[in-house]
Amino acid sequence: MSLKSFLTAIVIATAVSAGLFFAVRMSAPEDPRSAFVLPSATSLPQFSLLDQSGAPVDATAFRGHWNLVFFGFTHCPDICPATLQILAAARRALAEDGQDPLPRIVLVSVDPERDTPELMGQYVSYFGEGNLGVTGTLDELTKLTSALGIYFEKQDADDDGNYVVDHSAAVLVINPAGEFHALFGGPHQVDDYVHDLPIIMAAKIDVPLPPLAAQGVVVTRPMPGMRMSAGYLALSNNTDAEITITRVSSDQFGSVELHESIVEDGVARMREIEALVIPAGGTVTLERGGKHLMLMRPTGDSDLISLSFFDGDDLLLDVVASYQE
């Protein structure tokens, strides 16, 4: 081979190699430039709070959505509204770019003393439709913030009773499996969210079904002078084996019994049943005039009712409901 041919071959090989290099670089997935993606997503803790309509909120409320979660308060004069405006602007920009799905904006109050569900609803609606406002008791809020490393501290009130709450400025990304997936630290910029969120949300997330799930939970409020309520719900078995419920308990009632109403020879009867069997892949509905829960001897005046379902000593499911008239 002549020197000219040899040099030509080197040039061609170099060009091909460079082309392959740039092709690989061009096809490689882009990394987030601002957000920190956790090496391994972590599950949320158990907690019981309220949304802006007063309905119970627990860790399952975050499943099925990508969520941008910010911890703040409605009386915040600067950082909170500014951050929520940035999130709202980023969401609008993503919608214009055709991003699907769009993340949901969630404000969790670190000032439950003043932030009622109604006030939270009014506040989060300022920043667009579909936003979620979460508030509740300080104890339940602390369960969530402690697990996620969120700091907040109420400051001393002034002479007029006004006060502020110091809190973490981060925005957390909760994935559709209800896991802490990534976070954005301050200062927040719209462009960072528009760039990073499609990359983060492109991750394949498996949303596991719980072995036992509850839908349509209703607990009737005791009538005046009565110390008894009824509970209705549908229980779905997502496994390939039957599930047996032998016991139900509630922190708000002295006892809970599995009951069934029947009509025999024109006579209505109520009787306790020992267990509730839910077939593999099936659903059993507890409803008026049939199988139901009998909740007796209320122990307090809370509007939130916890229900725990057991097979013997094995806890199968925890749900939280609010009274319905």
Question: What strands, in cross-sheet order, belong to the sheet with 49-51?
Answer: 36-43, 179-184, 171-174, 67-72, 104-109, 132-135, 49-51, 56-57
Answer whether residue 1 shows pLDDT above 70. Answer: no
Q: Each residue of 248-275: b (16+ CB within 10 Å) or e?
A: bebebbeebebbbeeeeeeeeeeeeeee
Delimit the CATH 3.40.30.10 region(s) of the chain: 36-201
Residue range 238-282, pLDDT digits in tens: 999 999 999 999 989 999 999 999 888 889 888 999 999 999 999
Q: Which of 131, 95, 137 is nearest to 113 (CA)?
A: 137
Specify the pLDDT at position 29.
Answer: 56
Distances (CA, A) of 140 to 62, 100, 136, 144, 304: 16, 33, 7, 7, 12
Phi, psi of 146 (to 5 degrees): -65, -40
Pairwise CA distance, residues 209 & 207, whole Å: 7
Residue range 73-110, pLDDT digits in tens: 999 999 999 999 999 999 999 999 999 999 999 999 99
Cis peptide before 117 (omega within 30 of 0): no
Cis peptide before 101 (omega within 30 of 0): yes
Delimit the CATH 2.60.40.1890 region(s) of the chain: 212-324
Phi, psi of 121 (to 5 degrees): -65, -45
Residue range 12-43, pLDDT digits in tens: 444 444 454 444 444 445 789 999 999 999 99
Q: What does DSSP say about strands 56-57 and 49-51: parallel, antiparallel, or unpaired? A: antiparallel
CATH architecture of the domain formed by 36-201: 3-Layer(aba) Sandwich (3.40)
Answer whether residue 2 shows pLDDT above 70. Answer: no
Considering 133-137, 311-315, 320-324, the range whose residues carry the highest mean pLDDT is 133-137
* CATH class belonging to 212-324: mainly beta
Position with higher pLDDT, 2 vs 284: 284
Residue 286 near residue 232 (C-beta atoms within 8 A) = yes
